[in-house]
Structure 1
Amino acid sequence: MTLRSNDDGSLRRTGVATAGIPEVSMVIFLGLAAMGLALPALPARIHGTLGFDLTTAGWAMGVQSAATLVSRPWAGRLTDRRGGRRVVMAGLAAMAGAGLVYGLSALPALDRHAALGALVAGRLLTGLGVGLIVTGGGAWVVGLAGMDRAGRAMSWIGLAMFGGLAAGAAAGAALPFGAVTALAVCAALAGIAAAARIRPVRIEAKGRPLSLRAVTGCIWRPGTALALSAAGFAAVSSFVVLAFEAKGWPGGGNAIAAFGIGHVGARLLFAGLADKAKGPAPAAAMLVLESLGLGLIWLAPTPAVALAGAALGGFGFSMVYPLMALPALRRVPEASRGLAIGLYDAFFDVAMGVSTAACGLIAGAAGLPAIFLFAGCASLAAIIAVLAAYRGAPPPLRSSAS
Structure 2
Amino acid sequence: MSSRSRTTTTAAAPPPPAVNVFLKLLPITLAVFIGFLTIGLPLPVLPLHVHDGLGMSTLVVGIVIGTQFAAALLSRAWAGNLADTRGSKRAVVTGFLVASGSGVAYLASLAFPGSPETSIWVLLLGRVLLGCGESLVVTGALSWGIGLVGPQNAGKVMAWVGTAMYGAYAVGAPAGVAVNSAYGFAGISIAAAALPLLAWALVANVRAIAPTAVRRTPFYKVLGVVGGAGLGLALCSVGFGVITAFIALLFAARDWGNASLAFTAFGLAFIGARIFFGHLPDKLGGARVAAVCVLIEAVGQLLIWGSHTPAMAYAGAALTGFGYSLAFPGFGVEAVRRAPPQSRGVAMGAYVAFLDISLGITGPALGAVAGAWSVDVVYLVGTVAVASSLLVAVRLLTTRPQGAHHA
Using the size of structure 2 for normalisation, the TM-score is: 0.81
Ranges in structure 1 where 5+ consecutive residues have no aligned partner:
1-14
Give the CA deviation at 1:71.
0.5
Partner residue, 1:307: 314
Distance of 1:274 and 1:373 partners within structure 2: 28
Distance apart, 1:180 and its partner CA: 3.3
Asked if structure 2 preserves the Cα contact closer than 8 Å seen for 1:207 and 1:335, the reply is no
| Conserved 8 A contact 2:167-2:267 | no
1:85-138 CA distance string (max 9 Å, x none): 110000011122333344445569998776555433322211111111111111
- The percent identity for this pair of structures is 35
Verify the 8 A CA contact 1:39 1:172 in the aligned structure 2. Answer: yes
Matched, 1:86 2:90: yes
1:199 equivalent in structure 2: 207
Partner of 1:149: 153
Aligned to 2:380: 373
Q: 1:200 is paired with a residue of what secondary structure?
A: coil
Q: Post-superposition shift, 1:300?
A: 4.1
Distance 1:106 1:251 in 2: 24
Number of the residue aligned with 1:213: 220
Q: Could you list the per-position Cα deviations for residues 174-213 of structure 1 after superposition, in whole angstroms to 9, with x for gaps in the alignment? A: 234444333333222212221111111226x578665323
Count of paired positions: 382
Bigger Cα displacement from structure 2, 166-175 vs 121-130? 166-175
CA drift of 1:68 comes to 1.1
State yes or no: 1:328 paired with 2:335.
yes
Among 109, 134, 138, the alignment partner of 2:138 is 134
Report the AA paired with residue 196 of structure 1.
Answer: A
Partner Cα distance (1:217, 1:145) in 2: 26
Contact 1:289 1:312 in 2 (8 A): yes
Task: Give the conservation status (yes or no) of the 8 Å contact 1:152–1:275.
Answer: yes
Q: After superposition, give the CA deviation of every residue in 1:280-317 in whole Å (9 maximum; x if it has no partner).
A: 32211111111222233334455434432332222111
Partner of residue 362, structure 2: 355
Structure with more of its chain in helix, by fraction: 2
Cα distance in structure 2, aligned partners of 1:98 and 1:309: 31
Paired residue for 2:26, among 22, 25, 45? 22
- 1:162 deviates by 1.5
**Structure 2 gap segments, 5+ residues each:** 1-15
Match of 2:56 in 1: 53
- Which one is further off, 275-284 or 309-318? 275-284
- Partners of 2:311 and 2:206 in 1: how far apart? 44
- C-alpha contact 2:66 2:364 (8 A) present in aligned 1: no
The superposition leaves residues 17-43 of structure 1 with CA deviations (integer Å, 9 ceiling, x where unpaired) of 524301101111122123334455656
Distance 1:185 1:373 in 2: 36
Q: Which residue type is aligned with residue 284 of structure 2? A: A
Verify the 8 A CA contact 1:293 1:312 in the aligned structure 2.
Answer: yes
Shift of 1:369: 4.5
Q: What residue is the counterpart of 1:11 in the other structure?
A: none
Q: Distance in 2 between matches of 1:132 and 1:243?
A: 32
Q: Please tell me the root mean square deviation across aligned C-alpha atoms, in Å.
A: 3.3
